[in-house]
Structure 1
Amino acid sequence: MTNPTRREFLGSAAAAAAVMGISGRAAAAATPRPTDVGIEDVLMRYDDYHYRTPIKFGGTVVDRATILNVTCIVRTRDGRTVQGFGSMPMGNVWSFPSKKLSYDDTLSAMKALATRIRDLTAGHREPGHPIDINHDLDPDYLKAAKATAAEWNLTEPIPPLCTLVVASPFDAAIHDAFGKAHGRSCYQTYGPEFMANDLSAYLGPEFRGEYVAKYVTEQPKGRMPMYHLVGAVDPIVASDVVKPIGDGLPETLPEWINFNGLTNLKIKLNGEDLNWDVDRVIRVDRATAETQAKRGVSEWVYSLDFNEKCPDVNYVLEFIARLKAKAPEAFKRIQYIEQPTARNLAAAKPHALDEASKILPVVADESLTDVESLLLARDRGYTGAALKACKGQSHALLLAAAAQKHGMFLCVQDLTCPGASLIHSAGLSAHIPAVRAIEANARQYMPEANRRWEDRFPGLFRVKDGTMDTSCLNRPGLGAVEL
């Protein structure tokens, strides 16, 4: 597939913006569908967990999580009521990073926003497809974020990314209810039989006549490799363990490799210390190579995540040069580099990451909040996109379509998603053709949140051969999400 020019990409973004209008609302539906559902009520509750061991990203150490759980009741046009369920970690440190506001400040703001989003969602009565319902509510959610920031006298606005995270379990619950109402996997409800609008209503005229169904599969992949996270403060070998946890789970990288049969490792890096970053990858590779040799395994891969801390592309290029010189075999195992520089794409120059993306796929994550940001990321030199359930099922599907249309590298990543949120994330991975693996690190940091799901979906939550059994993700709704 030929990659569009910068002008063509920006033209696509402008066309999409014109279709959606200033408010971002979808174009009017051509013809309502008898399969449409309307929202009857929305319920929500929270679960709180402490991590068994801290995780560090973006320069911040996190040791806890708050999970937002949402139940949405919808009514079909023939009068039936059906419940759907969505769940997602709030992820405030990742989605609402701040040097002025505390952890509790940002979490409290997100909870206040969640209440507003609940009220807005429950008040939406126009029947439709979940993607249209979400697209119609999106601008109201953003307005609610501004109102929440004003009401709480926040010194910073609530970022759009944060708003997506808060809204995501509501969107998931609607998709889940819709699929269950029709006795189908959600991934079998994204064609013209169920959708009044084609993709041009959301992504611009070049998508006219195309539906989400073109870019997802109705049936999930049978098995997928699982990415294990090597956090920036995680011990690699036994000598790194200062205070053993002693809960029976692995505490070093070799132990985890043997425990789960790992072949895919995601390595968190600093982005502000070249020597540390290069040494970290070399140490991970050395421990992995020794362990895999004992297991008789010769093939494994890495991804590298700088969490937007690199000052510029020169840092990335120097990192690559040093790693290739010191550990060429480790370098060969890298599948992609994730979000090396700051998430603010408007502040970056065109083609800023081009030199790095000629060497390896460079994937945008924190930068992506809508299709316009996807196209702008491509203009800045990103060649890949990280899809996340925590940005919403509807948003993830639209970004997946746009990214595939433009020939971009795709991956799906989680937000230390446990339980139902991991099942949701795994469903995205299993139904988007280009995605190669699944991230699943709640089992490392928040295993308690997975406990009640393990017996129900053992192939997803008990990994022994480095892969997850995704064949079960074909049940009504979001694959396997159940109350």
Structure 2
Amino acid sequence: MPQLTDIRLTEVRSEYEQIDYRSPIKFGGRVVNDVVLFNVQVDVETRSGKRATGFGSMPVGNVWAWPSLVVDTPQTLEAMIQMGNRMVDNANAFRGTGHPLEITQQLSQAYPAISTSVAESLQLAEAAPELACLVAASPLEAAIHDAYGRALEKNSYDVLGEEFVNQDLGAFLSADFSGEYLDRYTSRTPKTTMPLYHLVGALDPLTDADLDTPLEDGLPETLGDWILADGLTHLKIKLSGDNLNWDVDRVVRVEAAAAPAQQRRGCQEWHYSLDFNEKCENVQYVLDFLAHLAEQCPAALTRVQYIEQPTHRDLRANPENRMHEAARVKPVVIDESLVDYESLLLAREQGYSGVALKACKGHTEALLMGAAAQKHNLFLCVQDLTCVGSSFLHSASIAARLPTIAAIEGNGRQYCPRGNEGWSQRYRGMFEVSDGTVATSELTELGLGFSPS
């Protein structure tokens, strides 16, 4: 039954901005030197006449979302920009009303056609995959959820129950969720603080000996420097996935660089996550890696909290890559493959024991997959896309409101600090790290919990 709190979209506006990185980041065999942010504003009006404007922002992230073998990187960037623009046009033409969960679901029905249309207009060898569609739509989704909360003068995480949403979770996921709403799987207040996962990229210097050309910009330059400056306790290590000796050695070297810095801090306990960026040919590579690491540096293996999706993102095309044996050693989380509830169930069947959520896949998607992961007792984490400014705060707000998530990744301050300008002055506890944590207690404002000005 329609609610007086239902909204309609009255106007949608968008813009793009490009920001250079402080230093390059390498993942999946590709190097990224800058970010293009897609910023969206959405005006809404409730059935009862209340109005508000919401804001959403997200890196376009084409290198991660669309690592094509037949379309080059500048083309995937242009295609995703055009997709974002057409999604905005589609939203401006939308005449439906409802809760943001319902509106974003209805809008998403047009995304495959938009992807195909953009590929045809640019004469691309392939259309954008579903993951790239989700990323292109994510700032629009964020802005809709943000505007809804503002119109009702509430935080967006407090308007997910039966009194606001017209359909239960059974309509979005499966009959197993009938009678349930997202307020069951989210918290009414954010966690006070959360540990921050700091990225150790494949190109990042671990010690002074690795510094070929110091940046000398006032920020830390080596891993040890970062640990001492920010009090880090959580490190995400990028690995190659196709060079076993290098991967094992990299973790051993990270441990060797981290241990003296942690000792200086008097810290006895810190943690790692491992990211192969899907480059492992099969699960045996992961098992061999774990075995070698156990032999060469058992302390480092003990610190590993989880492993991100190590093999190809196309689960159906690679059914032999079953993670059961690896997951018995450490949690293995689905990342790039996670695009809907069906993919979550398939990953669970193939042995994945956890789920990585990303704000860049859409706010609705993150909330729904977070609920599904909790329902199925899966390990949960929230990961980054070198999010800066608003997009980082958005990602943090998700992590802070899902009760089983213990840490958040955020590497924008490392690679693109310029993108945090303005935001870091208003939310100092989220951007100025001294004890390895961020102050998610700051994210309690209307909408998604923070404001662009």
Q: Same fold (TM over 0.5)?
A: yes
The answer to whether the Cα contact below 8 Å between 1:351 and 1:379 also exists between their aligned partners in 2 is no
In 1: Cα distance, 2:234 partner to 2:352 partner: 22
In 2: Cα distance, 1:231 partner to 1:343 partner: 21
1:218 partner letter: R
Q: How has the CA–CA distance of structure 1 residues 378 and 481 changed in structure 2, closer, same or farther, with 3 Å as cutoff?
A: farther
- Report which stretch shifted further, 334-343 or 103-112: 103-112
- Equivalent residue runs for 1:132-143 within 5 Å: 132-143=102-113
- Determine which of 273, 280, 285 is the counterpart of 2:250: 280
In 1: Cα distance, 2:442 partner to 2:95 partner: 33
- Equivalent residue runs for 1:322-341 within 5 Å: 322-341=292-311
Q: Which residue number in structure 1 is paired with residue 396 of structure 2?
A: 426
2:187 partner letter: T
Structure 1 residue 122: deviation in Å? Answer: 1.3
- Report which stretch shifted further, 84-93 or 123-132: 123-132
- Please say if 1:78 is aligned against 2:48: yes
Q: Give the paired residue count.
A: 453
Q: Which residue number in structure 2 is paired with residue 359 of structure 1?
A: 329
Q: How has the CA–CA distance of structure 1 residues 351 and 151 changed in structure 2, closer, same or farther, with 3 Å as cutoff?
A: closer
- Determine which of 442, 466, 470 is the counterpart of 2:412: 442
- Determine which of 375, 381, 384 is the counterpart of 1:414: 384
The answer to whether the Cα contact below 8 Å between 2:62 and 2:77 also exists between their aligned partners in 1 is yes
Structure 1 residue 99: deviation in Å? Answer: 2.5
In 2: Cα distance, 1:34 partner to 1:458 partner: 37
- Please say if 1:171 is aligned against 2:172: no
The answer to whether the Cα contact below 8 Å between 1:176 and 1:481 also exists between their aligned partners in 2 is no
- Determine which of 350, 367, 387 is the counterpart of 1:397: 367
- Equivalent residue runs for 1:286-297 within 5 Å: 286-297=256-267
In 2: Cα distance, 1:100 partner to 1:195 partner: 42
In 1: Cα distance, 2:112 partner to 2:191 partner: 35
The answer to whether the Cα contact below 8 Å between 1:235 and 1:253 also exists between their aligned partners in 2 is yes
Q: Which residue number in structure 2 is paired with residue 51 of structure 1?
A: 21
The answer to whether the Cα contact below 8 Å between 1:343 and 1:366 also exists between their aligned partners in 2 is yes
In 2: Cα distance, 1:80 partner to 1:364 partner: 40
- Report which stretch shifted further, 122-131 or 158-167: 122-131
In 2: Cα distance, 1:357 partner to 1:228 partner: 23
Q: Which residue number in structure 1 is paired with residue 186 of structure 2?
A: 216
1:190 partner letter: L
Query: Can you give the 5+ residue segments of structure 2 that lack an aligned partner in the other structure?
Result: none
In 2: Cα distance, 1:56 partner to 1:65 partner: 13
The answer to whether the Cα contact below 8 Å between 1:424 and 1:481 also exists between their aligned partners in 2 is no
Q: Which residue number in structure 2 is paired with residue 129 of structure 1?
A: 99
Q: Which residue number in structure 1 is paired with residue 73 of structure 2?
A: 103
- Determine which of 144, 158, 165 is the counterpart of 2:114: 144
Q: Which residue number in structure 2 is paired with residue 16 of structure 1?
A: none
1:79 partner letter: G
Taking structure 2 as the reference length, what is the TM-score of the superposition?
A: 0.99
- Equivalent residue runs for 1:229-244 within 5 Å: 229-244=199-214
The answer to whether the Cα contact below 8 Å between 1:96 and 1:159 also exists between their aligned partners in 2 is yes
Provide the identity percentage: 51
Q: Which residue number in structure 2 is paired with residue 65 of structure 1?
A: 35
Q: Which residue number in structure 2 is paired with residue 12 of structure 1?
A: none
- Determine which of 422, 435, 438 is the counterpart of 1:465: 435
Q: Which residue number in structure 2 is paired with residue 6 of structure 1?
A: none
In 2: Cα distance, 1:373 partner to 1:419 partner: 30
Q: Which residue number in structure 2 is paired with residue 7 of structure 1?
A: none
In 1: Cα distance, 2:285 partner to 2:320 partner: 17
Please identify runs of 4+ aligned residues in structure 1 that moved more than 4 A. Answer: none
SS of structure 2 residue aligned to 1:75: strand
Structure 1 residue 351: deviation in Å? Answer: 6.9
Q: Which residue number in structure 1 is paired with residue 175 of structure 2?
A: 205
- Report which stretch shifted further, 121-130 or 358-367: 121-130
The answer to whether the Cα contact below 8 Å between 1:423 and 1:481 also exists between their aligned partners in 2 is no
Q: Which residue number in structure 1 is paired with residue 448 of structure 2?
A: 478
- Report which stretch shifted further, 117-126 or 408-417: 117-126
The answer to whether the Cα contact below 8 Å between 2:282 and 2:321 also exists between their aligned partners in 1 is no
Cα-to-partner distance string for 1:26-80 (whole Å, 9 max, x where unaligned): xxxxx01111010001000111011111001111011111000000000111223
1:313 partner letter: V
The answer to whether the Cα contact below 8 Å between 1:313 and 1:352 also exists between their aligned partners in 2 is yes
Structure 1 residue 96: deviation in Å? Answer: 0.9
- Determine which of 373, 390, 399 is the counterpart of 2:343: 373
In 1: Cα distance, 2:198 partner to 2:18 partner: 23
2:298 partner letter: P
- Report which stretch shifted further, 193-202 or 350-359: 350-359
CA RMSD of aligned residues (A): 0.9
Q: Which residue number in structure 2 is paired with residue 118 of structure 1?
A: 88
